[in-house]
A and B are shown apart, each in its own frame.
Chain A
Amino acid sequence: MRRVAMVGAGMTKFKEHFDLGIKELVPMAVSEMAASVDKGLDRSDIEAAWFGELTTSDGFPAGILADSCGLLDIPVTRVENACATGNDAVRNAMYAVASGIVDVALVVGADKVRESSSRSTFWEWAALTRDVAWDYPLGLVAPANFALHAARYLHESGATREHMAMVAVKNHRHALTNPKAQLRFEITVEQVLRAPTVVEPFGLYDCTPQSDGAAAVLLVSEEVADRYTDRPVWVRGVGLGLDRVMHQHKQDMTSFPPTVKAARAAYAMAGIGPADIDVAEVHDCFSAVELISYEDLGFCDRFGAAALVESGATTFEGSRPVNLSGGLKAKGHPPGATGVSQNVELFEQLRGDAHNQLDTPTYALAHNIGGPTAVSAVTILSTEKD
């Protein structure tokens, strides 16, 4: 297996892009990625592309990427794996480069959640993830999907809504310096607790906003990496995990087994453990999901997340910051783009170019959990080639 380097990364701002379609956002992200390549990118070098898009807001996804970016002569594969789409697109491209078939691979993620009317979004998106006869008519909205876990988690772990609120407060603060973030304002624990209830136990500030956006990274083989940069970031581990799709078949709802499986695979490939991770982008579509994910990723013991977030260890000043971008919570969450944008953030962190720049981090981890809490993807990046 060849080693795989990330040599370019870029993204659009995440926001309600009513003025831009997917056909504009995708080429914008690709051009920003190209501009980030230290020694420049000749687009004709790109041999294949993987496009992560959860829904298609404007027609045939693979064709839109090829057409809108001027890449009509390469194969393009659309990846759809619920909210794990972005990191799964990275995983697929990584496999292609590692295998020796492709030297230069483009990964793009994009989605336009705000392209549908507010009234139609819920049922359109529910149809992607619910059993159509049994679960679909129940009105299992996305927050409820995760709240079923959160309610049980709070019941068993001793964590409280205050601990959930600390996650939201932290991620909002991190987003203040991120020019790409959708929600750039500070909030307090009291504001989170007092906000209107969306789905108990989630208030408005426990939830990600609805976002549009695109992100892109360039993966190349170790043989050609120095054509593009002298400071590559290495894709050291990738993993994908699944679980039963219906909530009633999930045995222990205080944990996300897909995350445990994806992380185990990624750590094994990277040859490291959770203690080695210096910085992470963790799926925080709802505040409690970040808490549960600390445990599933091995950042703390089972039911240790409340103490971890309370300690401040996952803030910018802490020992292992989580979601320095602002996370899904404050940066935004256009699902197909989300995982790719986590890689953009970590690429910049590992190269010393980030807005909340840490002091020489070595290992970084990106994580998604999604769909009916049944799929997770994890990517581990490093400044170290081996």
Chain B
Amino acid sequence: MSHLAALGTYLPTWGEEQDRRPGPDEDAVTLAVAAGRAALGCLDEPDVDQVVLVSRDLPLLEGGNAAALLAGLGLPADLPVTEQVGGCPATLDVLTAAAPGTLVLAADLAPAGAAAALVGSDGLEVLPCARRVGSLPVQSRGRDGVARDYEDARLGWDRGGLAAVSALDLAEKPVVVAGATARQAGVLTRGPAPALPVTGASAALFALAALDDLGETGVAVAVEQASATAVRTGRGTTSLCLARDEPAAQSPATLRETPGPEIAISLAAYARAFDAKLRWEAGACDACGTLALPPRLRCLECGSEEGWSLAPLPRTGSVYTAVTVHVPVPGLPTPYSLAIVELDGVDVRALVKVTGAPAGGTAIGDRGRLVLRRVALRSGIPDYGYALLPTDTDPTTEDI
């Protein structure tokens, strides 16, 4: 049994309300980081000892996603990270077995969404109920990355999901079913089935969030092809902190893809920039404290070359100048907007891309927050950094 102290969700803004798509600068890592930051931002002093990411859309199979996850989440680089390939039953399995201090992340690309649950010593109780592991691979994807569809939806549900749930032999009807369509779920649930915006790994956590929204406890089932896991929730002595970062849906912008050579990368430069760039930290001069982004040997202000230490940067700011690139650029979807942002409360500006808003809508003086995004894919390697997400929040609003 586990207790959930906090639950965070994230949906990219693009697509339909219940069918989101990742932006061109989003992948499973940035989605998971957004959800994770929502969950961690819920608590005053979140206690995280380890991280598990469940997804079938891991950006890198070799090369690793763990360091980017920890950096984006602002967690120390000495935590164990488990990258688990799996769907929503796997997420529930991980959750019920997790020790307090485990941050369980789940992220999906189609439909896109992510959720995070922090397992604590109190909060929403989640008890394992039943599990069925079966095989009916109507959708498959192997080492070649090519997705194949058997194209028999009725077989898939009748002999897959429905059969798996029957095999669970549940004593009571579930309140919510993850991994099924609303219509399929409605046949199984005791009341109207809550609609979930995702069907993959993160659907399990969206289901628990839906239960919490209903103010109910009960059985939640996660289904994936011919496998299913059921859990029962119960109230702890403290309530679950639920934070949703789910902006309204907007139609995906029409972007132009221009083929071209791969964008080159220097892994030496990548490695030098990594901590400052992914943790959003400046170099603070050891002699005078002046902040420099990126960190640099010689202080911008006093000229000291004695050394510097990384210092967190504010994650809100306003636009000093902005432009929109319309001309086709090989390897980058156009149009896109670039902005120089003056960060709140420090003498630091940053040149960043604008995210989560149609290109061209950002003007001098606009406010926004800085969020982790995949700035570019360079020779197959995700190059993460921060982008400006325009907001109308005032500068005192705390960042999540």
Contacts and interface: CB of A to CB of B under 8 A. Distances in A.
A133 B267 CA distance: 9
A147 B324 CA distance: 9
Given A139-B336, A148-B340, A155-B321, A134 B364 contact: no
Interface residues of A, number: 36
Nearest to B336: A139
A119 B321 contact: no
A205 to B, nearest CB: 14
A152 interface: yes
Contact of A151 (B264, B321, B376): B321
Given A138-B338, A139-B329, A147-B323, A248 B260 contact: no
A120 B260 contact: yes
A248 B349 contact: yes
B67 interface: no
Given A120-B260, A133-B266, A138-B353, A151 B327 contact: no
A143 B300 contact: no
Q: For chain A, what secondary structure do more than half of its interface residues adopt (helix, strand, loop), or is it mixed? A: helix
A139 B355 CA distance: 14
B299 to A, nearest CB: 12
Contact of B332 (A139, A199, A246): A139
Interface string B309-340: 00000000000111111110111100010101
Contact of B263 (A123, A147, A249, A253): A123
Interface in A258-284: none
A207 to B, nearest CB: 9
Interface string B275-308: 0010000000000000001100000100000000
Interface residues of B, number: 43
Contacts, number: 111
A253 B277 CA distance: 24
Interface string A153-172: 00100000000000000000
B271 to A, nearest CB: 9
A144 interface: yes
Contacts of A141: 325, 327, 329
B351 A247 contact: yes
A248 B370 CA distance: 15
A319 interface: no
A196 interface: yes
22 contacts: A120-B330, A133-B266, A134-B273, A134-B294, A134-B385, A135-B351, A138-B338, A138-B353, A138-B375, A141-B325, A141-B327, A148-B323, A155-B321, A197-B324, A197-B326, A198-B327, A200-B326, A200-B360, A246-B351, A248-B348, A249-B349, A253-B340
Interface of B: 258-261, 263-264, 266, 269-270, 272-273, 277, 293-294, 300, 320-327, 329-332, 336, 338, 340, 348-353, 360, 364, 375-376, 378, 383, 385
Given A134-B351, A138-B376, 19 more contacts: A123-B264, A123-B330, A135-B351, A136-B263, A139-B376, A141-B325, A147-B323, A148-B323, A148-B351, A149-B321, A150-B323, A155-B364, A198-B327, A248-B293, A248-B340, A248-B348, A248-B351, A253-B321, A253-B340
